[in-house]
Structure 1
Amino acid sequence: MDVVSDAISAVRLGRPSFSRVGMKGSWCVRLDPYVGAGFAVVLKGGCWLRPDGGAPISLGVGDTVLLPHGTGHVIAGSPVGAAAAKKAVPFELWLAGQRVRPEHEETEILCGKYWLDCSRMHPLMAELPEVVHLPSRVGSHLELRAAIDLLAGELDERRPGACVALPNLLDLLFVYMIRSWMSETTAGAWPGALGDPVTAAALRALHSDPAAPWSLDRLAAEAGVSRPTLARRFTALVGRPPMAYLTWWRLIRAAALLRDTPETLAAIAGRVGYGSPYALSHAFEREFGTTPGRYRAQAADRSGPAAEPSAGLGAPVRQ
């Protein structure tokens, strides 16, 4: 596994929920803050998005917006001021009253949520800004553009296998949005860490086999540098020394396995590099402030739903 895949897999819960919506005339809807990441893709027309505490953003056809931290926001057909934002109709209430097909409207948007476990988020995900706006530009973000085109095609026709294709395309969209942000941003530590050949090589090694008996010597050899060079560059870019990062990542992986699998504590200990369930339990409680058993029970209570499309292929259609 690479770092970005691991960072996403560690927090993702269930399947994304989504709706294909159409609007015309004067409209303004609000989505309240939520646990997870929101997204919107403009398929036709244009609109404005105003995040809580932020300025309005103009969106055109092909534009994509990711709200990685579930920031509340308003979407409207025209620029939204503070007064108009307060009068916005709650999205769920507005959606329930729709009676038309989105493709018959002036503006068409695919929007939804990725359910995330934000209790132990990888720092790569944590440092994403409140709003990631990826405008549609000729020649830019070709993979993201292709994913949007595929999504639009699946929404236009009720094709065999669509119920499998759509959630997987939405997962792909999530990856491409993060990847596109990383390729453009000049802020944040993690794009720099993954762009540094020494640190990136060490991270790849640790994420490929976190259960291996890693030492600083072995990791430095894997990265092709001396121990002091690895320790200095890794710590400066990642924010913690290599072995401290490995310990933390092993426990994050253990938490994900407790949340997502029925495996025993002994089996999980072996998969993340601990010699016994007792050793893992002791380290886990020190890091998380709770036992693995209690964590598993609590995770089951707070898991997001394995959401399905709201109607048909995601369109809020009421025949």
Structure 2
Amino acid sequence: MDALAALLDGPRAQGAFLLRSVMDPPWSMRIQDRSPLTVVVIAQGHAWITPETGSPLQLAPGEVALVRGHRPYTVSDSPGTPPQIVIHPGQICTTLDGTRLEETMSQGVRTWGNTPEGETVMLTGTYETATETTQQLLNALPPLLTLPADPAHTPLISLLTTEITQDSPGQTAVLDRLLDLLTITLLRTWLTRKDARPPAWYQAQSDPLIGQALRLLHHNPSHPWTVELLATKLGVSRSALARRFTALVGEPPMAHLTRWRLSLAADLLEDPALTLEAIARRVGYATPYALSTAFKRTRGLTPAQHRARRTPISRTPPETLYATDGANQHGPTRM
């Protein structure tokens, strides 16, 4: 699959955190949750996002911010408002002195804030994990990317605004899909901008020859590919394929395939139900030993060590995240 398809599949498997925030000034939140990607949509009013390094950016209604990486940042009514709230890993929300705010700022289903009817209304979607394959694309994003209001985004934003406070059966799945679609739309918008600098391999997908080669390798990683076999499949000479592939992608075909296979293996290791033998077969290695050797040589860790290190962050229990009725008014722990 390509990187955008991987973005749909990866975070979707883990679930994303969605919340509607309703705020009246003064308000300011320091976000240090270490999430790989967060989408912030201004549905009403305005907000300022201040990265750890760099200038504050103001968001108006309909504008969107993509925040990438683990560095802290601040979201506030004004750059001069000092933080009053801290968002920690696991989407735990506290005051500066550590007092938990789950109950005190709940405003209903997936809604949280300092007032029931606020001047500013934000929709926030946080991907708490990212696949290895997705991360290769996310790394090309600037740490803070803002996108103007756009008719292409408006229908999804409107639908997300409507659905985020609903509590119908299957609502989590509906919201996850809407957030995925919005994220893909935003990334597509960014990738067409002149100032975008996507990875060379992503740009190479538009080349008639190398794009087809990449699709063959990415869609069939378990196939016993060689440069000669790939060239025959594409109807070109081995040397011509190798030369053009290296020029556009930045590495030879088999080196790229190895990196792709090991990224897929790293993602599959997140599933404890999959044996190393099953993973090796899926990504094109004849034996678990062959996969382990390549994995250790490239990443410095054995597959078992990688699996042990990728233990999910403990987050607030789901039953405390959303208020579902009058008897359970525990608010979400995310802004």
* TM-score, with length taken from structure 1: 0.83
Amino acid at match of 1:137: D
Q: Which position in structure 2 is the counterpart of 1:248?
A: 259
Matching residue within 137, 143, 148 for 1:130: 143
User: Does the Cα contact within 8 Å between 2:41 and 2:62 map onto a contact in 1?
Assistant: yes
SS of corresponding position for 2:270: helix
Within 1, Cα distance between the matches of 2:141 and 2:149? 20
Within 2, Cα distance between the matches of 1:74 and 1:2? 32
Per the TM alignment, residue 33 of structure 1 is displaced from its structure 2 partner at its CA by 5.5
Within 2, Cα distance between the matches of 1:89 and 1:124? 33
Per the TM alignment, residue 226 of structure 1 is displaced from its structure 2 partner at its CA by 4.0
Within 1, Cα distance between the matches of 2:313 and 2:214? 28
Matching residue within 189, 194, 204 for 1:180: 189
> Residues 172 and 157 of structure 1: is their aligned pair in 2 closer, same or farther, counting only changes over 3 Å?
same
> Residues 157 and 294 of structure 1: is their aligned pair in 2 closer, same or farther, counting only changes over 3 Å?
closer
More moved, 280-289 vs 196-205? 196-205
Q: Which position in structure 1 is the counterpart of 2:54?
A: 54
User: Does the Cα contact within 8 Å between 1:11 and 1:256 map onto a contact in 2?
Assistant: no
Structure 2 unaligned residues grouped into runs of 5+ = 87-92, 96-100
Within 1, Cα distance between the matches of 2:212 and 2:12? 25
Once the two structures are superposed, the pairs formed by residues 152-301 of structure 1 within 5 Å of their partners are 152-190=161-199, 191-223=202-234, 225-299=236-310, 301=311
Within 1, Cα distance between the matches of 2:42 and 2:76? 12
Once the two structures are superposed, the pairs formed by residues 16-95 of structure 1 within 5 Å of their partners are 16-32=16-32, 34-78=34-78, 80=79, 84=80, 87-91=82-86, 92-93=93-94
SS of corresponding position for 2:14: strand
Within 1, Cα distance between the matches of 2:71 and 2:218? 30
State the Cα RMSD in Å. 3.0
Percentage identity across paired residues of the two chains:
35
> Residues 186 and 13 of structure 1: is their aligned pair in 2 closer, same or farther, counting only changes over 3 Å?
same
Within 2, Cα distance between the matches of 1:72 and 1:223? 46
Within 2, Cα distance between the matches of 1:207 and 1:199? 12
Amino acid at match of 1:152: T
User: Does the Cα contact within 8 Å between 2:37 and 2:126 map onto a contact in 1?
Assistant: yes
User: Does the Cα contact within 8 Å between 1:205 and 1:222 map onto a contact in 2?
Assistant: no
1:98 is aligned to 2:99? no
User: Does the Cα contact within 8 Å between 2:277 and 2:287 map onto a contact in 1?
Assistant: yes
Per the TM alignment, residue 161 of structure 1 is displaced from its structure 2 partner at its CA by 2.8
> Residues 182 and 312 of structure 1: is their aligned pair in 2 closer, same or farther, counting only changes over 3 Å?
farther
How big is each residue's C-alpha offset from its partner over 1:17-75, in whole Å with a ceiling of 9 and x where there is no partner? 23211112322222126142122111111122111112121212221111121332212
User: Does the Cα contact within 8 Å between 1:12 and 1:115 map onto a contact in 2?
Assistant: no
> Residues 6 and 157 of structure 1: is their aligned pair in 2 closer, same or farther, counting only changes over 3 Å?
closer
Amino acid at match of 1:89: Q
Higher helix share: 1
Per the TM alignment, residue 198 of structure 1 is displaced from its structure 2 partner at its CA by 2.7
Amino acid at match of 1:109: M
How big is each residue's C-alpha offset from its partner over 1:66-90, in whole Å with a ceiling of 9 and x where there is no partner? 1121332212223x1xxx36x2122
SS of corresponding position for 2:150: coil
Per the TM alignment, residue 114 of structure 1 is displaced from its structure 2 partner at its CA by 0.7
Q: Which position in structure 2 is the counterpart of 1:109?
A: 122
- Matched residues, number: 307
Amino acid at match of 2:175: L
SS of corresponding position for 2:105: coil
Per the TM alignment, residue 128 of structure 1 is displaced from its structure 2 partner at its CA by 1.2
Per the TM alignment, residue 224 of structure 1 is displaced from its structure 2 partner at its CA by 5.3
> Residues 220 and 306 of structure 1: is their aligned pair in 2 closer, same or farther, counting only changes over 3 Å?
farther
* TM-score, with length taken from structure 2: 0.80
How big is each residue's C-alpha offset from its partner over 1:110-133, in whole Å with a ceiling of 9 and x where there is no partner? 124211257786432211111121
> Residues 75 and 212 of structure 1: is their aligned pair in 2 closer, same or farther, counting only changes over 3 Å?
same
Once the two structures are superposed, the pairs formed by residues 7-22 of structure 1 within 5 Å of their partners are 9=9, 14-22=14-22
User: Does the Cα contact within 8 Å between 1:3 and 1:204 map onto a contact in 2?
Assistant: no
User: Does the Cα contact within 8 Å between 2:221 and 2:257 map onto a contact in 1?
Assistant: yes
Per the TM alignment, residue 283 of structure 1 is displaced from its structure 2 partner at its CA by 0.9
